[in-house]
């Protein structure tokens, strides 16, 4: 039986928010089994709670933003990817600010932070979402398809008309050490003209060469260069892992993404929720045919997860 995990102890960090450019403080606490990942806006009256769920996504324009009436939390994907990459199912994230700190633009600082806190195994089984029927979302030349597979796999392809990017594609099988070494360090990227336009609108105010790869029409401004020759597609995989964590259960299937975005990632999760015949929930170690939560059918468990 594979068991759920949480942190061994609380851990904190501070940094600058990418879009507002303001200091942000966060503390990540251990959490009990079956509680999932929950964000607390500790700086607001009543300390509103926002669940890490695709049903609470309110914006995908520049990052993934979650929200409830009166409170939002933005740029959650890098921390969620780090939690997923380390197999952490449950955590309470208290944030003093409207967005998570961007740190170096990758998930590596969050991985180091979580490893410092340590991981604790809980006495509760982990439930997986197993794909048994192919499903596809297509929007023009962009697409996400998921197929049954013997083990989880993610294949991602991007295509940008830039001499340092062009067409890049990579397949990745989730393993904690492999994620930490090959995906987590990949930084977010943007084009100088777009960054300048955003900053003129009062956005991306915290963006700099310290936390993003910035491209001109023909070159890279960052003096240290790339961490990987295909760092761009690796970061897109990182973003997808973080967005996929909003589904609530680890996905067992082969996902193929072409020219994805936060918006398309979110649309894929919406379609997945509307097609329950394409998947089933499985808890390894439970007797075959036993629901992951006794007495609940798949639709009932989905409804409970969205509540």
Looking at the annotation, which residues are catalytic?
Answer: 262
The answer to whether 97 touches 69, Cβ cutoff 8 Å, is no
Helix (H) or strand (E) holding 197: helix 192-200
Q: Which residue's entry shows tokens 């048994």? A: 132
d(CA 245, CA 238): 11
Q: Which residue's entry shows tokens 């769920």? A: 53
d(CA 16, CA 223): 21
Half-sphere exposure (CA, 13 Å, Cβ side) for 156? 22
Half-sphere exposure (CA, 13 Å, Cβ side) for 169? 7
**In Å, what is the CA distance from 124 to each residue of 10, 32, 80, 120?**
20, 9, 21, 12
């Amino acid at each position: 039986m594979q068991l759920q995990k949480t942190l061994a102890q609380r851990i904190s960090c501070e940094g600058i928010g990418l879009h507002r450019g303001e200091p942000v403080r966060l503390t990540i606490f251990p959490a009990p089994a079956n509680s999932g990942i929950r964000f607390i806006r500790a700086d607001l009256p009543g300390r509103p709670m926002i669940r890490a769920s695709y049903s609470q996504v309110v914006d995908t324009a520049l990052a993934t933003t979650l929200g409830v009436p009166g409170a939002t939390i933005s740029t959650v994907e890098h921390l969620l990817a780090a939690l997923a990459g380390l197999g952490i199912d449950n955590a309470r994230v208290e944030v003093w600010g409207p967005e998570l700190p961007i740190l170096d633009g990758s998930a590596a600082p969050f991985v180091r932070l979580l490893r410092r806190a340590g991981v604790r195994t809980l006495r509760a089984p982990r439930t997986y979402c197993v794909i048994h029927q192919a499903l596809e979302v297509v929007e023009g030349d962009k697409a996400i398809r998921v197929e049954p597979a013997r083990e989880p796999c993610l294949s991602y392809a991007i295509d940008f008309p830039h001499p340092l990017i062009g067409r890049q594609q990579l397949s990745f099988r989730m393993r904690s050490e492999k994620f930490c070494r090959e995906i987590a360090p990949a930084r977010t990227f943007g084009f100088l003209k777009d960054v300048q336009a955003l900053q003129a609108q009062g956005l991306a105010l915290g963006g700099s060469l310290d936390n993003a790869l910035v491209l001109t029409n023909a070159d890279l401004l960052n003096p240290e260069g790339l961490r990987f020759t295909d760092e761009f597609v690796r970061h897109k995989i990182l973003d997808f892992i973080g967005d996929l964590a909003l589904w609530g259960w680890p996905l067992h299937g082969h996902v193929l993404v072409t020219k994805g975005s936060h918006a398309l990632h979110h649309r894929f999760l919406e379609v997945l929720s509307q097609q329950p015949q394409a998947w089933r929930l499985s808890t390894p170690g439970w007797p075959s045919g036993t629901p992951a939560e006794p007495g609940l059918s798949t639709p009932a468990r989905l409804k409970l997860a969205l509540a």
